[in-house]
């Protein structure tokens, strides 16, 4: 199993992308300090290592990548390692210290060649921060050091048919089962980060939230039914905050009163960071609570 899982359940506009960009840059730093991370993890020399961010929508992927790239370019430590030739709208490359050493050796050999001789090409960078949509995240062969799944609770949901999943490659289940196993290449150092506002109770985001011991996990009606209680997995860290608890802009629940009056159930989820019961999508929880209970 993956030993480092962070589940961030946060209200809308609460800085999820900023936090994820910090994590992405810190993990690039961690890899660079190993000098030759491929050797450290027993991989093929210069095998590409990815800090991969996946979002359902293109603007979410673009925003996250822009934040990560701009942050990296502002940090003096990164300046010798950034591959400015591999800097576009969705990927930023980094040379490891070992990459730079190999390219310096190539330059030395090239300098000794006579005029007109064919020179060796420099080698590419071997670490990258990459941000893609679910439609571009189907490559299972990547070595992923950190996988960041933004708004996972709002990815398309897989459907069950005859006891089996029927889905397209962009569903939450397909993305998780396709990409999370790549984290195991790093012997416990690989990280899964889920940053999302909640939706209804179901799907992969809620599954990780439940395994991590989230506070809103449904408890059995009978306290003696201990077999229905899932023991929290200590490798999964969960934190959950409403927008006004963490946002530097929205500082109180009252500032969102118009939103809550317009759609109380949706706002309680999007801004309040509370999971909704699936039935609440069709019947409000207030009406459900008014149904008489049999004794």
* pLDDT tens digits for range 6-63: 999 998 888 888 889 999 999 999 999 999 999 999 999 999 999 999 998 888 888 8
**165 — pLDDT class (breaks 50, 70, 90):** low
267, 274, 271, 275: which is closest to 251 by C-alpha? 271
CA atoms within 13 A on the CB side of 130: 22
| Percent of the chain clearing pLDDT 70 (strictly above) | 84
List CB contacts of 216: < 8 A, sequence separation 6 or more. 201, 209, 240, 274, 275
Question: Which residue has 């530097």 as its token pair?
Answer: 248
pLDDT value, residue 90? 85
Neighbours of 246 (CB within 10 A): 18
Backbone φ, ψ for residue 85 (5° rounding): -80, -15
pLDDT value, residue 294? 52
Question: Which residue has 């009252």 as its token pair?
Answer: 254
Between CA 147 and CA 45 the distance in angstroms is: 22
Residue 124's Cα: distance from chain center in Å?
Answer: 25
pLDDT value, residue 88? 74
pLDDT tens digit sequence for 218-268:
765 445 555 455 688 889 999 999 998 888 888 788 888 888 888 888 888
Calculated CA dihedral for residues 264, 268, 271, 275, nearest 10 degrees: -150
Are 245 and 15 in contact, with CB atoms under 8 Å apart?
A: no
Are 147 and 186 in contact, with CB atoms under 8 Å apart?
A: no
Between CA 145 and CA 127 the distance in angstroms is: 10
Name 6's bridge partners. Answer: 193, 237
């Amino acid at each position: 199993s993956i030993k480092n899982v962070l589940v961030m359940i946060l209200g809308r506009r609460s800085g999820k992308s900023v936090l994820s960009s910090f994590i992405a840059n810190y993990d690039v730093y961690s890899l660079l300090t190993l000098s030759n991370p491929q050797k450290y993890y027993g991989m093929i020399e210069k095998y590409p290592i990815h800090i991969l961010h996946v979002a359902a929508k293109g603007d979410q992927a673009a925003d996250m990548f822009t934040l990560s790239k701009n942050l990296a370019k502002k940090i003096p430590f990164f300046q010798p390692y950034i591959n400015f030739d591999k800097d576009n709208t969705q990927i930023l490359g980094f040379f490891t210290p070992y990459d730079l050493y190999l390219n310096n050796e190539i330059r030395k050999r090239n300098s000794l060649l006579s005029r007109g001789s064919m020179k060796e090409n420099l080698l590419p960078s071997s670490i990258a921060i990459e941000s893609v949509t679910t439609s571009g995240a189907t490559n299972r062969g990547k070595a992923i050091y950190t996988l960041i799944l933004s708004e996972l609770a709002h990815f398309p949901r897989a459907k069950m048919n005859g006891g089996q999943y029927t889905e397209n490659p962009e569903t939450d289940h397909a993305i998780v089962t396709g990409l999370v196993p790549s984290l195991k290449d790093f012997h416990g150092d690989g990280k899964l980060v889920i940053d999302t506002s909640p939706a209804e109770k179901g799907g992969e985001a809620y599954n990780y939230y439940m395994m991590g011991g989230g506070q809103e996990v449904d408890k059995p009606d009978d306290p003696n039914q201990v077999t229905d209680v899932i023991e929290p997995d200590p490798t999964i860290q969960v934190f959950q905050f409403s927008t006004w608890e963490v946002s530097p802009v929205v500082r109180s629940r009252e500032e969102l009163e118009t939103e809550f009056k317009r759609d109380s159930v949706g706002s309680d989820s999007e801004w309040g960071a509370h999971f909704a019961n699936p039935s609440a999508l069709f019947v409000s929880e207030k009406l459900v609570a008014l149904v008489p209970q049999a004794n």
